Structure formats: structure tokens, C-alpha cells
Amino acid sequence: MKITFTHQSRTFEVDMSQGHDISRVVRFLNGPEMDPAFVPKASRAPFSSGGFVGAVEKGGSCNVDRLDWIPHCHGTHTETVAHILKYPWQVLSKEQEHSVPVVSDFCPKKFFTAALISVAPVKAIDSNDTYRPNFGDTDRIVSGQGIEKALQAIDVGKVDALILRTDDQLYDFNSGPETPFLSVEAMQAVVKSGVDHLLLDLPSVDRLNDDGHLTSHHIFWNVPEHESVATKDSWLHKTITEMVTIGAELNDGLYLLNLQCSPVVSDAAPSRAVIYPAH
């Protein structure tokens, strides 16, 4: 099936049979991993209770796994502003006060426009950008200038979502201190673009060891720095999706995005992002 839609007074066509899943596969070890890594790998083990064993190879009638994993660390996941709030119910209506938000409520139940851009990380000390805390000697960043130039190059106008590709390495929380992140100016450029949803191939928009500042998270949701309470000016509807994987065969430009989030009561949930090139 092919559809056409109008964006910025231009007509585009999308082949709905040509979707590209940019989510990461979560692979589970058989049993907990015992190693010195900061974040142990996701693991699984057969569920058992009474006389039931959830493993066919152990005589069970079916396989039933208990999974041990952290959505923030073990694959593509979508975060809400509740990630940095002391009182997560601030994102809800007054009638729902003191409840906890369901992540899927923040993922639009529709197809929406997205811009895919590629920005190569640079050495922080070679840029004019800033960050809190200050840059270290080995820090690599996505710069504000890099994002601005990439957006100008594709010239698709205002979109609902921004998809950021850095390089072809699959970074995770054990990738070390040279894992790239967004500078203050980079996140300000994202905000200036007017998008409500940010997707990127990095494990975090912030430095993995940032002394708890989460500077870029705070900028994106407009929550005051060093504060854990939203204000009337905070952007409670926005989402950040981290750890996507964007193949080299996908060109920068305009896409339709279908962002699917698990209906989990939490600050973040596993998610699946499928994008469709628009021509």
C-alpha cells in the first residue's frame, strides 16, 4: 500500500510495505552474568513454581522464562519526563494525581513526521560547546553546530520527531568514557527545532558518568537544572528514545515514524520504532 501526504506545502509518497525497524534486538544470557561490567547483560532463567518447570528441556510442558533486564540499559527504550522527576504523577491530569504514568500514553497512536540526520561526534575539547559538568579530555560529543548543519542540509521544515544517527558503533552502558553524548548547545538545537520526540543511537543524551547532572535531559524537558520538580513551563508531553540502530542504507531526510511503546507503569519502557522513507 502506498499513501501520499502533505508536509510543508509539499506532497510526499510513502510505501507502507517498506518500513524499517530501527529497534535493537535484546539478547538474553542463560542465567545471570557474573562479570565486572557496570551493567550486567540481560539474562533469563526458566520460571518454576511447585511442580511446574518452565523449560521443555528439563521436562516441562512449555517454555516460560523469567527475564532479568533493565529497559534503560538493555535495548531500545522510550523515556518520559518522569525519568527525572521526584513526583512522576506531575505528568498526569489532576484527576489522575498520585498515580504513576503509563509510558505508552506518551507515544502518539499515529504515524507522524520525522527527520533523520547524521552527525559525526567530535572531540569536545576541539569544539566551542559546553556541558555541565565540564568536559573531560576524552569526551566526544554531538555538537550544536553539527545538528544545525544537518537539519539545514535536509531542509524538511518542522517535524514531530528528530532521529539522530552518530556512527555505526552500537554503544551501550558498558562502552566506556568515550561514548558520545549531546552538548548543551546540541540539545538546545534539538529544542529549537520544535520536535516533541527525540530518537538517537546512543545509550543516553547525557554523559554516562555525569555526576548526576543529566543536563541534556533537563534541557529537553525544560525542567530547571538541579531540580526534580516540573514547573508550569516544563514540556511534559515530550519523549526521548535511546539506543535505536539506524542502518547505513537509510538516507538522511523525511520519514514517517510509528513509535510503539509497551504499556508499562514506569518512567521508561521498551519500545519499537519503525520508519518509512518519504519521497
Taking only the tens place, the pLDDT of each residue in 123-182 is 999 999 999 999 999 999 999 999 999 999 999 999 999 999 998 777 777 777 789 999
Q: Are residues 171 and 44 in the same domain?
A: no
pTM: 0.92
pLDDT of residue 169: 75
Q: Are residues 170 and 34 in the same domain?
A: no
Got the DSSP string for 135-202? PPTT-EEE-HHHHHHHHHHH---S-SEEEEE--S----TTS-TT--EE-HHHHHHHHHHT-SEEEESS
Nearest C-alpha neighbor of 159 from the set 240, 95, 266, 255: 255
On the question of pLDDT at 218 being above 50, the answer is yes
Q: Are residues 134 and 177 in the same domain?
A: yes
Q: Are residues 157 and 44 in the same domain?
A: no
pLDDT of residue 88: 72
pLDDT of residue 186: 99
Q: Are 46 and 64 in contact (CB under 8 A)?
A: yes
pLDDT over 70, % of the chain: 92
Among residues 68, 86, 119, the one where a domain terminates is: 68
Among residues 68, 92, 125, the one where a domain terminates is: 68
Q: Are residues 150 and 46 in the same domain?
A: no
Q: Are residues 53 and 76 in the same domain?
A: no
Q: Are residues 179 and 119 in the same domain?
A: yes
Q: Are residues 64 and 92 in the same domain?
A: no
pLDDT of residue 36: 45
Average pLDDT over the chain, rounded to whole? 90
On the question of pLDDT at 96 being above 60, the answer is no
- State how many domains the chain has: 2
Nearest C-alpha neighbor of 127 from the set 79, 85, 180, 168: 180
255-274 residue pLDDT tens? 999 999 999 888 999 999 99
pLDDT of residue 98: 47
Distance of alpha carbon 171 from alpha carbon 164, whole angstroms: 14
On the question of pLDDT at 31 being above 60, the answer is no
On the question of pLDDT at 193 being above 60, the answer is yes
Among residues 37, 68, 99, the one where a domain terminates is: 68
Q: Give the domain extent around 38.
A: 28-68
Q: Are residues 230 and 241 in the same domain?
A: yes
pLDDT confidence of 80, banded at 50, 70, 90? very high
- Which comes out higher in pLDDT, residue 117 or 97? 117
Distance of alpha carbon 73 from alpha carbon 89, whole angstroms: 23
Q: Are residues 144 and 52 in the same domain?
A: no
- Where is average pLDDT lowest: 95-99, 181-185, 186-190? 95-99
Is the peptide bond preceding residue 46 cis, with omega within 30 degrees of 0?
A: no
pLDDT of residue 138: 92
CATH of the domain at 151: 3.50.30.50
CA 230 to chain centre: 20
